[in-house]
Amino acid sequence: MALRRHRLPRFWLGLTLGLVVCGVSATYLWERQLPDRLRQAARAGDVDACLRFSEQLAALRWLGGEVPAEQARCRRLKAGQLWQAQQWERALQLQLQVVNSTASTINDRLLLQSWEDELQQRALRRFHQGDLNGALALLEPIGENHKQGGNSLGDNLREVWNSNRYQQERASKLAEQQRWWEAIDALNRIDHPWWKQQSVSLRRRVEEGINRLTKDHRDHDSHGSLPHTVSPEQLDAQVRRRIDQGIDEWTAFQQACKALGGQIVEAGPETACRR
């Protein structure tokens, strides 16, 4: 019995070593077959199989062998397919793997850069069309949706969007109060194409209000200028001269009123310049 117990560990040890050797041998044989399988898949145009075999081959080469050029080729092909299918993020990930591999070329890097530039241009077009969320979604795969310091392209787009929305809302409130000059100043600060389009009817109403205000001043002046009222012709000329110099309407109105010795007051529901 003692002799039998002594032989059991040797038996299990031999069995274990045998299984390990078999496993290693099977793995080695499988690795030997992978290059042929990979080339066959590449020739057949089966990009998914080509990529799968190349990934397996890279994982099995534990002795320091380099990733084969076939793997880079498969990734290039698959990345191109994904890009055509507008699966931006997956395409960029695969192309970046190609760029970071030892089989990369200058063309790989240029292609990756061109894809990133194209996504930025697509995002800007979406943004100018009024689709902020769509623009940010396109910027996400290239890491330009948001950054901690707030200096990404997406952060800049949000800032421009919120600024234009604020000016449009401010102009609408001022127009409700018939503060026409302040309202036109807010409208002139809107520089986003979509928000400009959204403000067309509001701008028309504000300009009509300014025209009525000017006409009222002229009607009063035809019956004799009211006491302490600045001449509307002189005020209008001063305002337009400053606007031609690049000064915004509200600032031009304030400066013109001051230059004529007047001050801005709330004349009923409207803003006027009086001495």
The model's pLDDT over 21-67, given as tens digits with 9 standing for 90+, comes to 444 444 455 555 666 776 777 667 677 877 777 777 666 655 334 45
pTM of the model as a whole: 0.67
What is the Cα–Cα distance from 194 to 182, expressed in whole angstroms?
21
Q: Are residue 69 and residue 121 in the same domain, yes or no?
A: yes
**What SS3 class is residue 274?**
strand
Angle 180-188/153-176 helices, nearest 10 degrees? 160
| Average pLDDT over all residues of the chain | 80
Residue 70 included in any domain? yes
**What SS3 class is residue 272?**
strand
The model's pLDDT over 74-104, given as tens digits with 9 standing for 90+, comes to 888 899 999 999 999 999 999 999 999 888 8
Note the pLDDT of residue 61. Answer: 57
How many structural domains compose the chain?
A: 2
Q: Are residue 270 and residue 212 in the same domain, yes or no?
A: yes
Residue 166 included in any domain? no
Residue 42 included in any domain? yes
Q: Are residue 133 and residue 204 in the same domain, yes or no?
A: no
Which of 125, 145, 165 is where one domain is finished?
145
> Which run of H or E residues covers position 17?
helix 2-44
Q: Are residue 96 and residue 193 in the same domain, yes or no?
A: no
Domain ranges, residue 184: 178-274
Q: Are residue 40 and residue 134 in the same domain, yes or no?
A: yes
Alpha helices in 100-248 (DSSP H): 106-128, 132-139, 153-176, 180-188, 193-198, 200-222, 232-244
